[in-house]
């Protein structure tokens, strides 16, 4: 009987999303456990900070100060550039860039499953987190929120087997899909033609297609391009720029959904359909 | 004898909660592959020791929480745990008189069966794990079973859980 109940439960959970509330209630029940397990590690960090010497702190402070100066200088330029961009867009009568809101979350120190690339963060629906929100760290895109509970939420990393990100090559504008491999250091870019304009060292940024991820965030750097003339597609692998295994603080990015979000990329339904056939325009531009 | 006193249930609950905590405790990545199925072992122990109190229903609920903890499909581990609890309750008279190493082998068979069920489900939803390392928890659970068993028996006798 219980097996039948389980089978029904699994089918419903897999096909529909009615069970998210059940999962949220259960997650709420286990969240004290998850917070509690983070305590020793948190205490370790706190102790480490409390015991650092004055000189180390001073050095760190100086380094941070100079970094802050550099970045605020860059930001000044950024404001001007953004205004210019908006003006140009208005001239071209194209759609405006959507606003983005950002919130800081912290990873909870829990292991989920060595085979699935998921993490738990300490922000939930009480903090305004929603399923499908993009998660980034200082270096690049980390993943997206898949389950939300009141005080915690589960994030699927971009390297998970069932995850795919729509990306664009920053240099040439070529569009592709970066599919997770289950290993934290590799993404695959399937269905790229042999003559696709992509090379080692290219930066891949989110293209914003699909509506899940805001455009323009760095995702990965192309590591290897293998053009085997016997195959119809090139074998391209990339290394995520985000520090997927080291980051503790993450940023939750929120965009107002655009009208093009109809074909939203949902990891629950397997990898997104690749729409990567490079149009002549994009390949021609790079050459 | 007529009135079965249902006391000290909190001891059982506490061991199960501890097992859940161990299930998601951060471990170095090489060790994480060996993480024993703690909740499964605790469940099997209580099914063997107190089959009249801990059975399929509790097993199923324990598994459901494991599903939530691991971010898996709801019901995936619950099914495996219910099957394990059923087998353990069904065979508890036989398994109880086994020597410890033989019990450990039985536990390994139970957990392997559970993992097989989970693997089928994973295969059906397209997240199959083709690696042999997937089966390591069954072995590590069996290896830890003698200590687990004596430890939990100590707990049960200490708190007179009946």
Residue A128's domain is classified under what CATH number?
Answer: 2.40.10.340
* Burial environment of residue B134 by CB neighbours within 10 A (0 to 12, 13 to 18, 19 or more): middle
What is the predicted pLDDT for the residue at B3?
Answer: 43
Contact in structure between B98 and B88 (CB atoms under 8 Å):
no
- Name chain A contacts of B58, Cβ cutoff 8 Å: none
Identify the contact set of chain A against chain B, taking CB-CB distances under 8 A. Answer: 2-3, 5-10, 13-14, 19, 22-23, 26-27, 29-30, 33-34, 36-37, 41, 109-116, 118, 120, 146-147, 154, 161-162, 270
Full domain range(s) for residue A199: 100-287
Q: What angle do CA B107, B113, B115 make, to 5 degrees?
A: 100
In a domain, A15, yes or no: no
Check CB contact of B13 with chain A, cutoff 8 Å.
Answer: no
3-state secondary structure of A271: coil
CA distance A15 to A152: 23
Contact in structure between B44 and B82 (CB atoms under 8 Å):
no
Mark yes or no for CB contact B74/A10 under 8 Å.
yes
ipTM entry: 0.73
Interface test with chain B among A13, A19, A21, A111, by most B beta carbons within 10 Å: A111
What is the predicted pLDDT for the residue at A13?
Answer: 73
Check CB contact of B118 with chain A, cutoff 8 Å.
Answer: no
What is the predicted pLDDT for the residue at A15?
Answer: 67
Residue in chain A lying closest to B77 (CA): A6
Q: What angle do CA A101, B70, A103 make, to 5 degrees?
A: 10
pLDDT tens column, B20-62: 888 888 777 778 888 888 999 999 999 999 888 888 889 989 9
Q: What is the mean pLDDT of residues B143-156?
A: 91
Residue in chain A lying closest to B31 (CA): A114
Q: End-to-end distance of chain A based on CA atoms, in angstroms?
A: 64
Check CB contact of B90 with chain A, cutoff 8 Å.
Answer: no
Residue in chain B lying closest to A109 (CA): B26
How far does CA A174 lie from the centroid of its chain?
19
Check CB contact of B72 with chain A, cutoff 8 Å.
Answer: yes
Check CB contact of B25 with chain A, cutoff 8 Å.
Answer: yes
E strands, B52-137, where?
none
In a domain, A79, yes or no: no
3-state secondary structure of B124: helix
Mark yes or no for CB contact A162/B127 under 8 Å.
yes
Interface test with chain B among A4, A5, A10, by most B beta carbons within 10 Å: A10
Which of the 8 DSSP states describes residue A273? Answer: P
CA distance B65 to B74: 9
pTM above 0.80, yes or no: no
Instruction: Tell me the pLDDT of chain A (287 aa) as tens digits.
Output: 777 777 777 777 776 666 777 788 888 888 888 888 777 777 887 888 788 778 888 898 999 999 999 988 888 888 888 888 888 877 776 655 556 777 888 888 776 677 778 888 888 888 888 888 889 888 889 999 988 888 888 898 998 888 899 999 988 888 999 998 888 888 998 888 888 888 899 999 998 888 888 888 899 999 989 888 888 888 899 999 988 877 778 888 876 654 443 344 444 444 444 433 333 333 333 33
pLDDT tens column, B74-99: 888 888 899 999 999 999 999 989 99
Mark yes or no for CB contact A147/B74 under 8 Å.
no
What is the predicted pLDDT for the residue at A256?
Answer: 60
């Amino acid at each position: 009987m219980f097996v039948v109940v389980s089978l029904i439960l699994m089918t419903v959970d897999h096909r529909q999303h009615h069970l998210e509330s059940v999962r949220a209630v259960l997650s709420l029940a286990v969240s004290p456990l998850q917070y509690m397990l983070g305590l020793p590690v948190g205490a370790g960090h706190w102790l480490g900070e409390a015991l650092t010497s004055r000189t180390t702190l001073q050095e760190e402070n100086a380094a941070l100060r100079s970094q802050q100066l550099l970045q605020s200088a860059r930001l000044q330029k950024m404001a001007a550039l953004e205004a210019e961009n908006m003006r140009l867009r208005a001239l071209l009568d194209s759609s405006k860039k959507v606003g983005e809101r950002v919130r800081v979350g912290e990873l909870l120190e829990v292991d989920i499953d060595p085979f699935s690339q998921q993490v738990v963060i300490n922000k939930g629906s009480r903090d305004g987190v929603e399923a499908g929100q993009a998660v980034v760290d200082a270096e690049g895109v980390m993943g997206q929120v898949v389950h939300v509970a009141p005080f915690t939420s589960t994030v699927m990393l971009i390297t998970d087997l069932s995850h795919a990100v729509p990306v664009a090559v920053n240099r040439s504008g070529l569009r592709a899909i970066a599919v997770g491999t289950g290993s934290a250091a590799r993404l695959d870019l399937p269905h790229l033609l042999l003559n696709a304009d992509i090379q080692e060292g290219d930066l891949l940024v989110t293209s914003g297609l699909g509506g899940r991820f805001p455009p323009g965030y760095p995702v990965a750097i192309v590591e290897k391009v293998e053009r085997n003339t016997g195959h119809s597609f090139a074998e391209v692998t990339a290394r995520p720029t985000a520090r997927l295994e080291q980051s503790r603080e993450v940023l939750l990015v929120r965009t107002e959904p655009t009208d093009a979000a109809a074909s939203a990329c949902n990891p629950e339904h397997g990898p997104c359909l690749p729409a990567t056939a490079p149009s002549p325009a994009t390949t021609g531009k790079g050459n | 004898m007529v009135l079965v006193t249902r006391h000290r249930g909190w001891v059982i609950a506490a061991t199960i909660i501890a097992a859940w905590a161990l299930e998601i405790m951060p471990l170095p990545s090489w060790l994480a592959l060996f993480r024993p199925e703690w909740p499964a072992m605790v469940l099997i122990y209580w099914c063997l020791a107190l089959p009249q109190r801990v059975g399929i229903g509790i097993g199923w609920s324990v598994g459901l929480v494991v599903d939530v903890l691991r971010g898996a499909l709801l019901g995936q581990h619950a099914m495996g745990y219910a099957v394990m609890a059923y087998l353990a309750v069904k065979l508890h008279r036989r398994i109880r008189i086994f020597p410890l190493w033989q019990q450990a082998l039985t536990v390994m068979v139970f957990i392997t069966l559970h993992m097989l069920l989970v693997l089928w489900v994973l295969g059906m939803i397209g997240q199959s794990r083709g690696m042999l390392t997937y089966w390591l928890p069954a072995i590590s659970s069996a290896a830890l079973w003698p200590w687990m068993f004596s430890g939990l028996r100590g707990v049960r006798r200490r708190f007179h859980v009946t």
